[in-house]
Amino acid sequence: MKPAAPRASPELLALIGEGFLSRLSFGLVSFALPLYAHHIGMSMTAIGVLFGVNAVAEVSLKPFMSRFADRFGFKRSLGLAIGSRSFMALLLAFSDAPWQLYAIRLLHGMIESLRDPAINSMLAERGGEKSVASAFSWYWTARYTAGALGKTAAGLLLAWTVANYKFVFLCAFALSVLPLYVVLRYTREQVHERLPEKPVPGPEPDAVRPAVPKVPIATFAGFGFLITSTSSMLNSLFPLLATQYAGLTEAQTGLVFGISTALMMVSGPVFGWLSDNVSRKLVLLIRSAANTLSSLLYLFFPALAGVAAGKVVDDMGKAAFRPAWGALMARISGADRSRRAQTIGTMTIGENLGETLGPMLGGFLWTTYGVAFMLIVRAVLALTAEFYAIFLVDPHITPAGAITSDSDSAIV
């Protein structure tokens, strides 16, 4: 069977459209902002710090913002986050000092700490019990596609306007209004209340009363940290790995990026279908296996074929992880829908920390001990994540196609 777009309500299609339009706008910003920071005289170190402060704000505020999303409503929270991000793009168009860029990046982290649990909660609600992984896969495929288009468009706009950064930021602001309209027009708020406990005719002996399985949220946060930190070790270093370690030209490196991105866009829906219909555990474990294999390919085959194969394996692993992880978040957070955003927010804090610390660890190991040692450490950490998933996360993974009552689990 071929994977198809999720047969869903207009609300789910609107959320996928929001992901595409938001990432299209943000693609312009993410491409132009580091160039603009360098243009106004910021050093490379300062630019690195600039792109780290938002992660600090996001991780610090996510527990509070997740609770806010549960109480304020997912749709209203998402709309507030999208509107704030539009305002952020507008502020960039009128900023001309480093301190202003730092303040805007802090604002961005605060916005993401609200948007992330809100959008994930809405996808979990609208995805459907038997197709939630496919919903997440199409959402992330739309984001990947739009991000690539946005960065390409930013490069063309900068060339056409002779590096008019303010114009690019204004274009990003104009585009960012579209997803706000889509969410406000085509989605609706769903209110979830705690279900009253069913009356029990009489007290049962402890030996007879069924135990409620506990879901250790910290375990999943740790798994997300291991997976994303291992993956992120090469995110910003891959161009250097390809050109300086493997000896590829800039054109060859760009070709590798293009091939891997195209395959990732195609494979995302495939992995979503596999997670929903074949094996969620298998798809979830592909990510750490891909990290291990790609590290070994980079290490032992430092040429065009080896680097291209490693990059493809890496990106295919990313495409596999997102739908399975999204389905797992939907299942775990469904234990108490009135706290869904808080549960998802806690599970994704590990991801945020991994995305922040992973590149730092990769750069430190490369600089201190060399690229070969860094790749070996990455492979070992990926294997650790694989065993972590098998022995700690696996007992809580529902097989594909299984129907689990939301009242059968409790959150720790």
Mean pLDDT, to the nearest integer, of 10-39? 91
Q: What would the mean pLDDT of 184-203 be, rounded to a whole number?
A: 62
- Supply the pLDDT for residue 330: 86
* Residue count of the chain: 412
Counting Cβ atoms within 10 Å, is residue 378 exposed (0-12), middle (13-18) or buried (19+)?
A: buried
Model confidence pLDDT, tens digit, residues 58-86: 989 999 999 999 999 999 999 999 999 99
Name the residue type at position 117: P
Greatest mean pLDDT range, 146-150, 218-222, 402-406: 146-150
Q: What local confidence, expressed as pLDDT, does residue 76 receive?
A: 94
Q: What is the three-state SS of the chain?
A: CCCCCCCCCHHHHHHHHHHHHHHHHHHHHHHHHHHHHHHCCCCHHHHHHHHHHHHHHHHHHHHHHHHHHHHHCHHHHHHHHHHHHHHHHHHHHCCCCHHHHHHHHHHHHHHHHHHHHHHHHHHHHHCCCCCHHHHHHHHHHHHHHHHHHHHHHHHHHHHHCCCCHHHHHHHHHHHHHHHHHHHHHHCCCCCCCCCCCCCCCCCCCCCCCCCCCEECHHHHHHHHHHHHHHHHCCCCCHHHHHHHHCCCCHHHHHHHHHHHHHHHHHHHHHHHHHHHHCCHHHHHHHHHHHHHHHHHHHHHCCCHHHHHHHHHHHHHHHHHHHHHHHHHHHHHHCCCHHHHHHHHHHHHHHHHHHHHHHHHHHHHHHHHHCHHHHHHHHHHHHHHHHHHHHHHHHHHCCCCCCCCCHHHCEEC
Q: How far is CA 49 from CA 46, 321, 356, in A?
A: 5, 28, 11
pLDDT at 195 over 50: no
Find the mean pLDDT for residues 335-359. Answer: 86
What pLDDT, on the 0 to 100 scale, is given for residue 402? 47
pLDDT at residue number 223: 84
Domains in the chain: ranges and CATH: 9-190 (1.20.1250.20), 213-412 (1.20.1250.20)
For 381-394, what is the mean pLDDT? 79
Looking at residues 91-116, what average pLDDT do you find? Answer: 94
Q: Which of 239-243, 278-282, 347-351 has the lowest mean pLDDT?
A: 278-282
Q: Report the distance separating Cα 374 and Cα 377, nearest Å.
A: 5
Q: What is the mean pLDDT of residues 222-228?
A: 86
CA proximity to 18, closest of 229, 185, 156: 185
Beta partners for residue 410, in sequence order: 214
Q: What percentage of the chain has pLDDT greater than the value 90?
A: 33
